[in-house]
Chain A
C-alpha cells in the first residue's frame, strides 16, 4: 500500500515527520501500511494512531477509552512489544524516526489495531476470577489488617487493569490456547489470599486443570512487560506452591 502524506493536516508545523507502519486487516489477514505523521511534542503512540484516523485515513480502527492508563483498552504491539499506547511516549520507542504498530498479540483481531479481548476475559472467569461472597450487604464490613502477610500478598496484584499486555507477552499463551494466562491466574492468586473470599478450594481446582497455572514456564515476560509493575509470575508461582501442597493434603 502507498504511504499517505500529511498534506491535509492543520497540525503540520515543524516539518519533522515520523515514519509509521500500521497493521491493517481483519482476522482473515492483512499487512502493514506506511504513514507519514507529523512529529509533535508530548506525543504518545495513541496520539499518532489518532492522528492517522483523524487526518490521513478515516477507516483506521483502534481502541482506547481513558487516555491515562486506567482502562487497559489501548494496548497494541509497538515495535514488536506489547504496550499501553496512551502512556507510551513516541520518543521512548522511536527507532531512526520509525515505529511499527500492530494489534495485540495472542488475541483474535477484529479490525486493524483492535483485538477481540473476549478470550482474555473468558479465561479470567474460568480461572475463578470473580469474588464469592462470605457476607452480605446487611453485615458489617469485616476488619482486615492491611499489614497482614497474606493480605499483603493479595494486595500485590490488585491494581491490574486487565490490559492483556502480559497475555500478549507470554509465549506459553501463544503455544497453548488453553492456557489461562498470567492476568487471570494472578487474579486467582489474589482471591486465594483474600480472607473475604469464600471459595478457596474452587480456585485451586480452577487453576489445576489443563489450562492451569502448571503450564507456566516462569519465562517472566508477563512481569517484565506489565505496565503497572505487577508481578504475575510470582503470583503464578504462589499458585503452584499452594496446589502442590494441596496435592499431598488431598491424597491423605
Chain B
C-alpha cells in the first residue's frame, strides 16, 4: 500500500543504495581476495569518518527502503491494513535502524573508544 510519498521515499533510497551496495560488494571482494582477517578489516574501518558516513548512510537508507518494501508485501500477502500496517512499517524500520546502528558502531567507531 503506497502513496506518492512512500513511493518516492522508496525510489530515492533505492537510488542512493545502488552505488553504496555496489561499493560494499567491491570492498568485500577485495577483502576476501586479499584474505583479510576480521581484525585487519576492522583496522581499516574503525575510526574512519569515510567508512562511518558510507555505512551510516547505508543503514539509514536501507532501513527505510526495506521497511517500505516489507510493508507492501505484508499488505498484499496478509491483508494487514491501517494502524497495524503503519505499526509494522515503523517497527521493521526502527528494528533495522537499531541493529544497523549497533553494527555501524562496532565496525566504524574508533577502537577502544567504547
- Within the complex, are A and B direct neighbours (CB within 8 Å)? yes
> Which residue numbers of A lie inside 8 Å of B, CB to CB?
172, 175-176, 178, 208-210, 212, 214-215, 240, 243-244, 247
- A210→B3 CA distance, assembly (Å): 5
Partner of A240, one of B3, B6, B7, B72: B7
Partner of A176, one of B1, B4, B5, B11: B1
- Cβ A214 vs Cβ B76 within 8 A: no
Q: Which residues of B contact A215 (CB under 8 A)?
A: 1-2, 72
- Give 6 CB contacts A-B under 8 Å: A176-B1, A176-B76, A209-B3, A214-B2, A214-B4, A214-B6
Partner of A208, one of B3, B72, B75, B76: B3
Q: Check B8 for interface membership: any CB of A closer than 8 A.
A: yes
Residues of B within 8 A of A (CB-CB), count = 14
Closest residue of B by beta carbon distance from A207: B4
Count of inter-chain pairs, beta carbons less than 8 A:
35
Chain B min CB distance to A242 (Å) = 11
Given A175-B75, A214-B7, A244-B7; 15 other pairs, CB 8 A cutoff: A172-B76, A175-B76, A176-B75, A178-B1, A208-B3, A209-B3, A210-B3, A212-B2, A212-B4, A214-B3, A214-B6, A215-B72, A243-B4, A247-B4, A247-B8
A244-B8, A247-B8 given; A212·B3 CB < 8 A? yes
Q: Check B77 for interface membership: any CB of A closer than 8 A.
A: yes
Chain A min CB distance to B84 (Å) = 15
Chain B min CB distance to A48 (Å) = 34
Chain A min CB distance to B65 (Å) = 15
The 8 A CB mask of B46-77 against A (1 = contact, 0 = none) is: 00000000000000000000000000100111
7 tightest CB-CB pairs across the interface, nearest first? A175-B76, A214-B7, A208-B4, A214-B2, A247-B8, A215-B2, A243-B4
Chain A min CB distance to B71 (Å) = 11
A240-B7, A247-B8 given; A175·B77 CB < 8 A? yes
- A247→B10 CA distance, assembly (Å): 13
Q: Which residues of B contact A172 (CB under 8 A)?
A: 76
- A243→B79 CA distance, assembly (Å): 26
- A212→B7 CA distance, assembly (Å): 10
Chain A min CB distance to B42 (Å) = 40
Partner of A244, one of B11, B75, B76, B79: B11
- Cβ B1 vs Cβ A210 within 8 A: yes
- A243→B3 CA distance, assembly (Å): 10
Chain B min CB distance to A184 (Å) = 16
Cβ < 8 Å to A, chain B residues 1-36? 1-8, 11
Q: Which residues of A contact B4 (CB under 8 A)?
A: 208, 212, 214, 243-244, 247
- A244→B4 CA distance, assembly (Å): 8
Chain B min CB distance to A40 (Å) = 43
- A215→B8 CA distance, assembly (Å): 12
Q: Which residues of A contact B3 (CB under 8 A)?
A: 208-210, 212, 214
- A126→B92 CA distance, assembly (Å): 32
- A44→B96 CA distance, assembly (Å): 55
Closest residue of A by beta carbon distance from B2: A214
